[in-house]
A and B are shown apart, each in its own frame.
Chain A
Amino acid sequence: MSATLRASKGAPYARIAGAGGYRPHRVVPNEEILKHIDSSDEWIRSRSGIATRHWAGPEETVAEMSLAAAGKALASAGVAPEQIGAVIVATVTHFMQTPSVATEIAHRLGAGRPAAFDISAACAGFAYGLGVAKSMVVEGSAEYVLVIGVEKLSDFTDKEDRSTAFLFGDGAGAVVVGPSDVPAMGPTVWGSEGDKADVIAQTTPWTEYRDGEVERFPALRQEGQTVFRWAVFEMAKVAAQALEEAGITADDLDVFIPHQANMRIIDSLAKTLKLPEHVAVARDVETTGNTSAASIPLAMERMLASGQAKSGDTALLIGFGAGLVYAATVVTLP
């Protein structure tokens, strides 16, 4: 017979309690990118809006960058490491298949023995992690969840591919998700489109590189026009659905933080969504480049630090990338 089980009991609602970011010390201007590709500063800026990006040095590993961002997020949330019940790390550039980097981060933070795992959802990874963290807090499997988006894309970039060499940057962003008395994270609208798996992908599997079938170390490649069309027009529908499911309209928004893929995508997305003028739009891509899973928390942290956004603001977040995968939600900023 089926025994009667005790139901789990979580918080009534969840919220983002604090955010932090880490940008590597070395700033890389377009001039440096141009040593390897036949292009121009003007072309790069007009196609991407990117002027500079940060590239990590040898000491700035995925784990080190994550620890720096996580420390700031914990401090801003006023949460001690031992209160963390789970660590979720979204990344595609931790070049160690196993164990996950989340366990190392949990250990080195002094978080004790929390649940810890990595997720692979490319540029939507942070937004995926946020949705999972909210579910955990409300379900009761963790009181506080540390969600980190981190990338070292400079290791995963073909510096001679003139369509992508200028796009990517390195960095880490983190938030602490915890209990709330009022709804502060809307429903997650997420999904995947595996029929478009080849639109953004690693050039070749590691095993082909190992076996000498290709000479070049695998890197990210993408079909720019296809990605642009999907990111602007399909993602506008997803973003609009996230607003609707949160029970608000664009007029109620203070801040829009899309994945910082490319300024052209950000601008067209904001235009397609018909965001009112008062909505502050994240444009961190100009000086941070596209940092995949790290881009949303990095942009969030910078907007809060610079005064472009403030605690209590209502923000629409949307991540989208290789898979293809996407996730959008409306949150109250910490």
Chain B
Amino acid sequence: MAASKEEIVAGLAEIVNEIAGIPTEDVAEDKSFTDDLDVDSLSMVEVVVAAEERFDVKIPDDDVKALKTVGDATNYILEHQG
């Protein structure tokens, strides 16, 4: 069953918490992964792979570069989830 926008943001918050140690309440749609959430380019790959598994979605490397904020990733997953 497809996840709602709120479920995706909450799921991403848990993933970012697990990988970068950022409190889940700090993860919001307007936050930039690199500038606000201590997720560098390599950690971003781990976030993406975890999100792929959780939301049954494929996010190719070429598309990862465009996902600057949590909102970008949320919208991408909303559009592409299986």
- Residues of A participating in the B interface, judged by any CB pair closer than 8 Å: 46-47, 223-226, 228-229, 232-233, 264, 268
Contact = CB atoms under 8 A, between A and B. Distances in A.
B40 A46 contact: yes
Given A225-B61, A225-B64, A226-B61, A232 B40 contact: no
User: Which among A46, A229, A232, A233 has the highest number of chain B CB atoms within 10 Å?
Assistant: A229
Contacts of B46: 232, 268
B41 A224 contact: yes
B2 interface: no
Interface of B: 40-42, 44-46, 48-49, 61, 64
Contacts of A264: 42
A326 to B, nearest CB: 18
Nearest to B46: A268
A229 B41 CA distance: 11
A47 B40 contact: yes
Contacts, number: 26
B33 to A, nearest CB: 13
B61 A223 contact: yes
B40 A225 contact: no
Interface-central residue, B44, B45, B49, by most chain A CB under 10 Å = B45
Contacts of B49: 229, 232-233
- Dominant secondary structure of chain A at its interface with chain B: helix
A202 B42 CA distance: 22
Given A46-B40, A47-B40, A232 B61 contact: no
A221 B49 CA distance: 24
Given A47-B41, A232-B46, 11 more contacts: A46-B40, A223-B61, A224-B42, A225-B42, A225-B61, A225-B64, A226-B61, A229-B48, A229-B49, A232-B49, A264-B42
B61 A47 contact: no
Contacts of A268: 46
13 contacts: A46-B40, A47-B40, A47-B41, A223-B61, A225-B41, A225-B45, A228-B42, A229-B45, A229-B49, A232-B45, A232-B46, A232-B49, A264-B42
Contacts of B42: 47, 224-225, 228, 264
Contacts of B45: 225, 228-229, 232
A229 B61 contact: yes
Nearest to A233: B49
A228 B40 CA distance: 12
Contacts of A226: 61
Nearest to B59: A229
Contacts of A46: 40
Nearest to B62: A226
B56 to A, nearest CB: 16
B72 to A, nearest CB: 16
Nearest to A43: B40
Return the 10 tightest CB-CB contacts between A and B, nearest first.
A226-B61, A229-B45, A228-B45, A264-B42, A228-B42, A225-B45, A233-B49, A225-B61, A225-B41, A268-B46
Contacts of A232: 45-46, 49
A228 B44 CA distance: 10
